[in-house]
Amino acid sequence: MKSNPQKVFQQYLESKGLKLTRQRTQILELLLEAQTHVTPEQIYRALGAKDASLGRATVFRTLHLLEEAGFVSKIHFPDGTSGYEHKFSRPHHDHMICVDCRDVIEFSNATIERLQERLSREFEFTPLWHRHEIFGRCKKCSLQKTAL
Amino acid sequence: MKSNPQKVFQQYLESKGLKLTRQRTQILELLLEAQTHVTPEQIYRALGAKDASLGRATVFRTLHLLEEAGFVSKIHFPDGTSGYEHKFSRPHHDHMICVDCRDVIEFSNATIERLQERLSREFEFTPLWHRHEIFGRCKKCSLQKTAL
DNA sequence: ATCGTTGCAAACGGTTTGCAATTCG
DNA sequence: CGAATTGCAAACCGTTTGCAACGAT
């Protein structure tokens, strides 16, 4: 992706005849600062707290917008809820998710990516994106578990 | 997994002090017959139709039970809803999901599986299960799309 | 001024829970 | 018989939507 995220976002909006509002700027800013995954509710609380009003609906609407624009990606937690992370200058990666503490470890593996491409071709499937999530326990939690 | 699913289920229930009821039998039966993924709602409708009453709640409760027992696995559709498939004598596999027609293609690749194990070890992560879903368009739908 | 955007609150859809009636073992 | 299970309807919770007020260009 390009250098200045806010700039890129603005250009994107412009090209679609959409407007850059305070809320949109703030939400993207928060996403950029938080280097981990953030839930819609966290965004709502964080921004509603510091600054003036921000509706939950706006959070979801903006997140959709950003996702569609390809600026953020969504991850699904085991309980069905979701989190978002920005994609500016972050290479593609997948996740290991701790079922106990919800901690997320990022990983990426070129061989796996390549195999996916090949498999898709085999099935004459046109891949758009994928989700590769390994659920289990992080080091800390698995130690805690065996200690019991 | 073992030979007779219903038997295995019964044994599982017994070992936990639980009971084998008409509803539980029917739901497992339906899952075994349907070789694809089935949604809770589909189960509710199919069984509520042919036989007498069956509550939605029971469907969910039974599905949880079966999942916890390791007899079925859940898959998440792009829209957030879920489907279930039984695991009796079906080898592990992952999914390619068509974003247009929701069709599901199953795939499995030993190399990918092995790499996952290795990566987990690297991060001192104890894997329990994983979800590897490739979203895109199946042959049919991608042809339709380019035809426009 | 003009459209897009916002906040609110009500609607939604899938999933869950409390409870009295029922069923399995 | 007694504990587990069921169906029902209400509760839930994350997400979406309709709408009148608001704000960016």
**Tens digits of residue pLDDT in B81-109:** 789 999 987 788 999 988 888 888 999 99
Interface check for B124 against chain A (CB to CB < 8 A): the answer is yes
Strand D: which nucleotides have any atom within 7 A of a protein Cβ? Answer: 3-9, 14-18, 23-25
What is the arithmetic mean of pLDDT over B112-136? 93
Report the gap between the CA of B2 and the closest CA in chain A (Å). Answer: 25
- Give the CATH number, domain containing residue B46: 1.10.10.10
A67 and A25 fall within a common domain: yes
- Asked if A76 CB < 7 A from strand D, the reply is no
Average pLDDT in chain A: 89
What pLDDT does residue B145 have?
66
Residue A37, Cβ density class (10 Å: 0-12 exposed, 13-18 middle, ≥19 buried): buried
> Does the structure show a pLDDT above 80 at B43?
yes
Facing residue for B135 by CB, picked from A98, A115, A129: A129
Strand C near-CB residues (< 7 Å), A 38-97:
53-58, 61-62, 80
pLDDT in tens, B1-33: 546 889 999 999 999 999 999 999 999 999 999
What pLDDT does residue A76 have?
80
B144 and B117 fall within a common domain: yes
- Write out chain A residues lying below 8 Å of B134, CB-based: 116, 119-120, 125, 127, 129-130
- Write out chain B residues lying below 8 Å of A97, CB-based: none
> Does the structure show a pLDDT above 90 at A1?
no
Residue A107 pairs in a beta bridge with A94
A80 and A111 fall within a common domain: no
- Write out chain B residues lying below 8 Å of A137, CB-based: 125-126, 128
Report the Cα–Cα distance between both ends of chain A, in Å, rounded.
Answer: 46
Interface check for B139 against chain A (CB to CB < 8 A): the answer is yes
How distant is C1' of C4 from CA of B137, in Å? 33
What is the arithmetic mean of pLDDT over A63-84? 88
What is the C-alpha radius of gyration for chain B, rounded to an integer number of angstroms? 18
Pairing state between β A72-76 and A82-86 = antiparallel
Facing residue for A109 by CB, picked from B107, B115, B133: B115
B123 and B142 fall within a common domain: yes
Residue entry with tokens 């959409």: A18
Domain count, chain A: 2
A81 and A103 fall within a common domain: no
> Does the structure show a pLDDT above 80 at A51?
no
What pLDDT does residue B55 have?
93
Tell me the whole-structure pTM to 2 decimals.
Answer: 0.76
- What is the identity of the amino acid at A22? R
CB half-sphere exposure, A14, CA atoms < 13 A: 6
B4 and B62 fall within a common domain: yes
d(CA B67, CA B58) in angstroms, rounded, equals 14
- Give the CATH number, domain containing residue B100: 3.30.1490.190
What pLDDT does residue A102 have?
81
B23 and B67 fall within a common domain: yes
- Write out chain B residues lying below 8 Å of A116, CB-based: 112, 134
Average pLDDT in chain B: 89
Which strand (E) or helix (H) includes residue A74? strand A72-76
Strand D near-CB residues (< 7 Å), B 65-124:
80
Given a contact cutoff of 8 angstroms between Cβ atoms, the answer to whether A135 and B131 are in contact is yes
A24 and A76 fall within a common domain: yes
* Boundaries of domain holding A50: 1-90
> Does the structure show a pLDDT above 70 at A109?
yes
A33 and A95 fall within a common domain: no
